[in-house]
């Protein structure tokens, strides 16, 4: 599918994809963990040796358990969130063609894993991927909150239209959601090699992140 934007080093992008026919792409905990590990290993200049990588990923659960070389990173990841049938990434184009190469490696590696595990064939993702250029600060800051607030709709599907039915319940769910980078910004995870916060503006710092998310949660959309 043709994308209407092009990528340029030094710029920021919201990248996302979902399962073909809106199918689930994460069926259990191990699927989420595999994808998060691939966020690290596919973000490198070296070719992904799937046989060796699969062997090691089947034996460990944290990045510290692995010795697979990935080379120099080709993108900077500022935020991510994995949902049952789609994923969101906030990326900084580090080298020419870095985002395209990273997403090709990531989606191919995960599709191979998923199809083998579930004895299926064919496409797993609806398309290569979609992307939006975060070309000004307000939009980039909004995307940071938008990505991390995606899990809120799991416990309250209509919160965006009317505000959370139970603010504390939704806030607690988002803060404890295991498959996003939000807990890393809250300081609950250490040594998260997936992220490179230094490549993003200062307002991505750990301080103030919780209040920023809460501000969006308490905002109720007004419809005419």
User: Could you tell me the residue ranges of all domains in the chain?
Assistant: 12-134, 137-217
pTM for the model: 0.89
69: left (phi over 0), alpha (psi -120 to 50) or beta: beta
Residue % of the chain over a pLDDT of 70: 88
Fold of the CATH domain 12-134: Alpha-Beta Plaits (3.30.70)
* 15 three-state secondary structure: strand
Checking if the pLDDT of 49 tops 80, the result is: no
On average, the pLDDT of the chain sits at: 87
- For the stretch 195-215, pLDDT in tens is 998 999 887 776 678 888 888
pLDDT tens-place string over residues 15-38: 999 999 999 999 999 999 999 989
Cβ neighbourhood burial of 145 (10 Å; 0-12, 13-18, 19+): middle
pLDDT at 204: 74
* Element housing 170 (H / E): helix 167-176
């Amino acid at each position: 599918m043709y994308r209407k934007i092009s990528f340029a080093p030094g710029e920021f992008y919201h990248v996302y994809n979902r399962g073909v026919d809106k199918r689930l792409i994460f069926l259990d905990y191990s699927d989420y963990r595999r994808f998060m590990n691939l966020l690290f290993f596919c973000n490198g200049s070296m070719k992904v040796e799937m046989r060796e990588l699969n062997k090691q990923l089947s034996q460990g659960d944290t990045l510290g358990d692995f010795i697979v070389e990935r080379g120099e990173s080709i993108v900077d990841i500022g935020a991510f969130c994995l949902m049952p049938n789609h994923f969101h990434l906030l990326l900084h184009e580090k080298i020419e063609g870095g985002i395209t190469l990273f997403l090709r490696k990531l989606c191919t590696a995960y599709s191979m894993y998923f199809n083998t595990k579930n004895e299926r064939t064919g496409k797993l993702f609806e398309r290569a991927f979609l992307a939006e250029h975060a070309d000004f600060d307000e939009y980039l800051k909004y995307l940071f909150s938008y990505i991390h607030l995606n899990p809120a709709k799991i416990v309250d599907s209509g919160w965006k239209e009317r505000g959370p039915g139970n603010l504390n319940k939704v806030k607690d769910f988002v803060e404890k959601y295991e498959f996003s980078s939000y807990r890393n910004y809250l300081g609950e995870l250490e040594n998260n090699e997936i992220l490179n916060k230094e490549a993003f503006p200062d307002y991505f710092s750990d301080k103030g992140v919780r209040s920023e998310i809460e501000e969006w949660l308490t905002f109720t959309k007004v419809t005419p």
